[in-house]
Structure 1
Amino acid sequence: MRTERVGDTDVRYQRNGSGDRALVFVHGYLDDQHVWDPVIADLTVEGVETVQLDLAGMGERTDASGPFTPDRFAAEVGSVADSLDKPVVLVGQSMGAPIVELVAAARPERTVGLVLVTPVPLAGTHLPDEVIEPFRALGGDRPGQRAIRRQLAVGLSEADLDRLEVVGGRILPGTARALADCWNNGHPAGERPSGYPGPVLVIRGADDGFVTEEMVANGTLKRFRAIETATVDHAGHWVHLEQPAVVAGLLDTFLATSTRGAGGTAQDVQPQAWTKAFDDKAADSFAAAFADDVVLEASVLTRPVESRERVKQVMEAASGIYDSLAFTQESSRGPREYLEWEATAFGGRIRGVTILVKDEQGRIVHVAIHHRPLGAALHFSSELGERLRGRIDAAHFYDGPR
């Protein structure tokens, strides 16, 4: 475990473990970074670093001054994500959920997954004054905070309540009011589809009387393109403290199946010359997998490309266009291998299937790559033509508007 700081700011974050990806955890209203400790302790996935931080006004930063706004919080969490210099999966609970969404939308190339736990909608809850006022008044009110937590949770232990009461009781009254207004008023970006195109997991407690199934459906789910949901029984608003092992298991599965970074390979896809070449993004790595007379056909090509030299140039250029690419499923039949994959490029998501045909020596003699959706395929073809200008005949690529 080690603690680092962003530049000369008061933004500090705790790093645990090591790996080629990082899980960044953001807490909710009146809480601190350590609410995630039980979940982190139950994670089993390998090769992932965990990162925690306190938001301004809470935890070890109760003396921080305002403004306490979604943009300010997103800028601070984003600065932590940037400092890690690796792909990240962002995890936010309650008011932390809209914060991590803003971070992900601003960094789609770095964010390989988004997990929203009992999420307040990015657009806000817009509770009327008589309903939001009790939340605004919780600063310094330990009994009031304990009562609210008991009301909205079913599985918090007395020890949990004791610790949360101490943590939340340190928050200044003026800060608590501003924080409540922050999640109640929301952010304008919540009124339109999310700017984050990657995989999303939404977790809620079955007994959460605040973030209800209806709130999630209307305020969160419809705004994302690729989303999974999970409801945890015997848990309310603090599902990560009430059922940490269940939440950790959901994160393990999400990490293993949905959130690989650039060149990632799913656990059920065996590494081979083709997948390793995408890891390297090097022409020679692709060339090593090909027969001399290899033929490449693709939905991003108007005609086939032939010969090892030309195909390796195309594949090197293509691999450089993807911000991330993960092979997710494979199967084989005789000399044919079928690989499903997911990628990000141009701020959006691309899916496809690659079919490889090999000779008796195991060298690839034919490649067929199918991209979807059509708009992304056309954009990809045009970009590929630009990158290969002067090396591969331009007639192989789409030349229309992007």
Structure 2
Amino acid sequence: MRIDRIADTDIRFQRNGAGDRALVFVHGFLDDQYVWDAVIAELGSEGVETVHLDLAGMGERTDASGPFTLDRFASEVGAVVDVLGTPAVLIGQSMAAPVVELVAAARPERTLGLVLVSPVPLAGTRLPDEAVEPFRRLGGDPQAQRALRQQLSTGLGEADLDRLAVIGGRVRPEVVRALVDCWNAGHPDGERPSRYLGPVLAIRGADDGFVTEDMVADRVLKRFGTGEKVTVDRAGHWVHIERPAAVAALLDALLAKAHPVGDRTRSVRPQQWISAFAEKSAASFAKAFAEDVVLEGSALTRPIEGRGQVEQVMEAASDIYDSLVFTREGSSGPHTFLEWEATAFGGTQIRGVTILTKNERGRIVRAAIHHRPLGAVLRFSAELRERLRGRIDPANFLADDR
């Protein structure tokens, strides 16, 4: 175990183990970094470094000054991720779920996956004042905090409740109020689809009376499109403390899937193409393309040539997808092969392979995009034709005449 520090800040983080991947754990409301110790102890994956830290105002940083906002917390966690030097799975509990999503959206190239434990929506819980005021009054009242935790997590033992009450009781009352307003109001990015397109796992305790099943499905995972949800029995809001072995097993499974041992393919690496899909803008695609880029695909009757036209097609195409996740990557010389899974048109499943060819400067000179199944290809092409009418010759696209 070693302690590292972000230069010129009060941010310190604990590192355990070593490897070519990392798990970064971020605690929730009124907690500290050590709430993850039991999960870390249960992990079975090899070649993985574990990292955790205290957010400003909590844990060993109760003297920190404000502001206490999601953007501030994401900046702190992002600074830690930046110095690790390895791709990471980001794990956040409760109010930290929005934090790790913001970090992942800003650093897709460094993020192997997101694990959202008892996740508060990025858009906030939006509780009315009469419902949220009891949370604001928790500052300086360890017994009230203990009672709340016991109500929301019946699986917490007496020792756990005592320890958590001590940790939370140290948080200054004005900070408690600011934190409540932070997770209740949420972040503007929560009003639109997530900018992070990689793997997402939401873990919820079956007895959680605060983060409900509907909240996870409708207000959290729906923004990601294809995220996975797992419900853990005999656990509530602090499922990582109540059932640490179950949470650790889920993390081990995610790591095995994201970085298969002995596989000739690998997790998807950082590159402008993937970032452009997250941003869904022509300007972002333009940064990846050479001036003479050529686009081919199963949804096209003939190639599209030139950066100006190709970036328009790609912007329109990326906006059609409800969700898109790049799942596997391989390479050979100047060629990169990307497998992906997507949904469009309110739930139609689409799979495909993209082949990118780059020049010596790293710019894409040829992109070949192959969709399946055929019905989805026809509909996708017809939709592109309509969206690009007046800008791209309609003869470049197929007609859905089914």
TM-score, structure 2 normalization: 0.70
**1:248-259 matches, cutoff 5 A:** 248-257=248-257, 259=258
Helix, strand or coil for the counterpart of 1:125? Answer: coil
- Structure 1: which 5+ runs fail to align? 261-265, 280-298, 303-346, 357-366
Contact 1:198 1:225 in 2 (8 A): no
How far apart are residue 227 of structure 1 and its match?
A: 1.3
Offset, 1:146: 0.5
- Whole-angstrom CA distance in 1 between matches of 2:352 and 2:219: 31
Q: Which amino acid aligns with 1:78?
A: G
User: 1:86-165 maps to which residues of 2 (within 5 A)?
Assistant: 86-165=86-165
Q: CA RMSD in A?
A: 3.4
Query: Does residue 76 in structure 1 map to residue 50 in structure 2?
Result: no
Q: Does 1:384 align with 2:384?
A: no
Q: How does 1:203-242 map to 2 (within 5 A)?
A: 203-242=203-242
What is the correspondence of 1:152-301 to structure 2 with a 5 Å cutoff?
152-257=152-257, 259-260=258-259, 266-267=260-261, 270=262
Q: Is the 8 A contact 2:338 2:354 kept in 1?
A: no
Partner of 2:42: 42
Structure 2, unmatched stretches of 5+, are 270-293, 298-322, 343-349, 369-390, 393-402
Q: CA deviation at 1:348?
A: 6.8
* Amino acid in the other structure paired with 1:384: K
Q: Is 1:350 paired with 2:326?
A: yes
Distance 1:368 1:46, change over 3 A: closer
Equivalents in 1 of 2:52, 2:65: separation in Å? 21
CA contact (8 A) 1:350 1:376 kept: no
Q: Are the aligned partners of 2:337 and 2:353 in contact in 1 as well (CA < 8 Å)?
A: no
SS in structure 2 opposite 1:245? helix
Distance in 2, matches of 1:148 and 1:368, equals 51
1:198–1:226 CA contact under 8 A, matched in 2 = no
- Structure 2 CA distance for aligned equivalents of residues 204 and 373 of structure 1: 25
Deviation at 1:140, TM superposition (A): 1.1
Amino acid in the other structure paired with 1:189: D
Q: SS of 1:226's equivalent?
A: coil
Q: 1:108 to 1:353 in 2, by over 3 A?
A: closer
Q: CA deviation at 1:349?
A: 3.9
Change (3 A) 1:241 1:372: closer
How far is the alpha carbon of 1:218 from its aligned partner? 1.4
Identical columns (%): 62
Q: Separation in 2 of the partners of 1:353 and 1:111? A: 15
Q: Which has more radius of gyration?
A: 1
Residues 200 and 228, structure 2, Cα contact 8 Å, conserved in 1: yes
Question: What is the CA-CA distance between 1:8 and the residue it aligns to?
Answer: 1.2
Q: Do 2:192 and 2:223's aligned partners in 1 also have CA atoms closer than 8 Å?
A: yes
Task: Give yes or no for contact 2:325–2:340 (8 Å, CA) kept in 1.
Answer: no
Return the letter of the residue paired with 1:51.
Answer: V
Q: CA deviation at 1:77?
A: 0.4
8 A Cα contact 2:265 2:328, kept in partner = no
Q: TM-score, normalised by structure 1?
A: 0.70
> 2:71 is aligned with what amino acid?
D
Give yes or no for contact 2:210–2:237 (8 Å, CA) kept in 1: yes
Change (3 A) 1:230 1:351: closer
Deviation track 1:96-123 (CA, whole Å, cap 9, x = no partner) reads 1000000000000110110000000000
Q: Which amino acid aligns with 1:166?
A: V
Superposed CA offset, 1:340-395 (max 9, x none):
xxxxxxx97435798x9xxxxxxxxxx997855799989854x6368589xx9x7x
Cα distance change on mapping 1:172 and 1:226 into 2, 3 Å:
same
Residues 48-57 or 221-230, more deviating? 221-230
- Alpha-carbon deviation of 1:221? 1.0
Measured in 2, the distance between the counterparts of 1:165 and 1:180 equals: 17
Q: Is the 8 A contact 1:94 1:120 kept in 2?
A: yes
Give 3-state SS (helix, strand or coil) of 2:358's partner: helix
Q: How far is 1:301 from its partner?
A: 7.0
Q: What is the identity, as a one-letter code, of the residue corresponding to 1:222? A: K
Give matches, 1:333-372, under 5 Å.
349-351=325-327
TM-aligned CA deviation for residue 124 of structure 1: 0.1
1:167-221: CA deviation from partner (whole Å, max 9, x where unpaired): 0000000000000000000000001000100001100000000000011111101
Show CA shifts across 1:211-254 (max 9, x none). 00011111101111431110000000000000111111111111
Cα distance change on mapping 1:372 and 1:97 into 2, 3 Å: closer
| Partner SS for 1:90 | strand
Q: What secondary structure sits across from 1:30 in the alignment? A: coil
Partner Cα distance (1:369, 1:231) in 2: 34
Question: After the TM superposition, which segments of 4 or more aligned residues of structure 1 sit over 3 Å from their partners?
Answer: 299-302, 347-354, 367-381, 385-389
Tell me by how many angstroms 1:85 deviates: 1.0
Q: Residues 373 and 145 of structure 1: is their aligned pair in 2 closer, same or farther, counting only changes over 3 Å?
A: closer
- In structure 1, the residue matched to 2:64 is 64
